Amino acid sequence: MKEGNKITTNSPVIYVISDSLGETAEMVARAVASQFNSGNMEIKRFPYVNDTEQIEDIVEEAAEHDAVIAYTLVLSELKEKLREVTSEKGIPAVDIIGPMLSAVEGIVSVPPKMEPGLLRKLDEQYFRKVEAIEFAVKYDDGKDPRGLIFADIVLIGVSRTSKTPVSMYLAHKRIKTANVPLVPEVAPPDELFRVGKKTVGLTIDPDLLFQIRQQRLKSLGLTSKANYANMERILQELEYSREIMSRLGCPVVDVTNKAVEETASKIMEIFFKGESYD
């Protein structure tokens, strides 16, 4: 059937056009279609549209159907082209995010970035953070040395040198971090010597470590005379850790009187100079 400039096939189709993935416009299109009991209404998505020729081709195809076009285009050149060709073909076209952009722009002091795919980038950052947190939990305290080769950073040090909290802080920066405790009676896993230049040692002043361990024992209801908080034992552990760190040739960060954020920032400065992990 011919209507004006359109040749229709009586099969309604919603065309979704985006210069990113197009998930937002498709979700809106499906929500609208559901209001018409149209479970069989076809929705065709065209993601990553980045030139005017693609716009023309899609609209030409849409003109052969009873079509509506929903779009999330932020590049002005593409939006103008789409409006021009849909007007010529008599095809309704709905800007999904344009009105909202304009409304928000009216109440904030900065213009929109008008950059395609920003939501996808934010989503990717979120999922990388979740993945890094799960990694830090799974490979905390040397639980599974096989995971060390998959880490971005491997922390080593004696007990109570903030390995776990620093690992979790780095994980929230989307950095996969594993940590391995150094104990004189337990040989470090072989994997530690195969991870390359991504290991960092954490050390601490022995007097402060003595105080921290005593407090730890008290919080557990144990006697402060335990070997764990014995100064001779602490010095032995720290000397052992220095030997291992020397063998590895890794950088060493002194965590004495440092907040977790300070230690993590120092580590990121060592390994990721110039990169943003906000």
Residue 278 lies inside a defined structural domain of this protein? no
Residue with tokens 């052992």: 240
Please check whether residues 127 and 100 belong to one and the same domain: no
Structure tokens at 79: 């939006």
Please check whether residues 94 and 195 belong to one and the same domain: no
- C-alpha span between 275 and 8 (Å, rounded): 53
**Residue 183 carries which DSSP code?**
B
Residues 6+ apart with CB under 8 A from 7: 1, 63, 64
Q: Which tens digits make up the pLDDT trace of 97-106?
A: 888 888 887 8
Please check whether residues 142 and 207 belong to one and the same domain: yes
Examine the fold and report which residue of 73, 105, 137 is the final residue of a domain before the chain moves on: 105
Please check whether residues 127 and 155 belong to one and the same domain: yes
Whole-number pLDDT of residue 104? 86
Residue 100 lies inside a defined structural domain of this protein? yes
Whole-number pLDDT of residue 266? 96
Q: Which tens digits make up the pLDDT trace of 219-264?
A: 888 876 678 999 999 999 999 999 999 999 999 999 999 999 999 9
Examine the fold and report which residue of 82, 105, 128 is the final residue of a domain before the chain moves on: 105
Please check whether residues 81 and 142 belong to one and the same domain: no
| Domain coverage including residue 235 | 118-271
Please check whether residues 147 and 32 belong to one and the same domain: no
Examine the fold and report which residue of 76, 105, 134 is the final residue of a domain before the chain moves on: 105
Q: Is 119 helix (H, G, I), strand (E, B) or coil?
A: helix
Q: How many domains does the chain have?
A: 2
Q: Look up the CATH number of the domain holding residue 44.
A: 3.40.50
Residue 180 lies inside a defined structural domain of this protein? yes
Q: Which tens digits make up the pLDDT trace of 32-70?
A: 888 886 557 899 999 989 899 999 999 999 999 889 999
Please check whether residues 32 and 95 belong to one and the same domain: yes
Whole-number pLDDT of residue 276? 54
Residue 111 lies inside a defined structural domain of this protein? no
- Which residues in 75-168 belong to E strands, given as ranges? 93-95, 153-157
Please check whether residues 98 and 42 belong to one and the same domain: yes
Residue 277 lies inside a defined structural domain of this protein? no
Please check whether residues 123 and 79 belong to one and the same domain: no
Please check whether residues 66 and 152 belong to one and the same domain: no
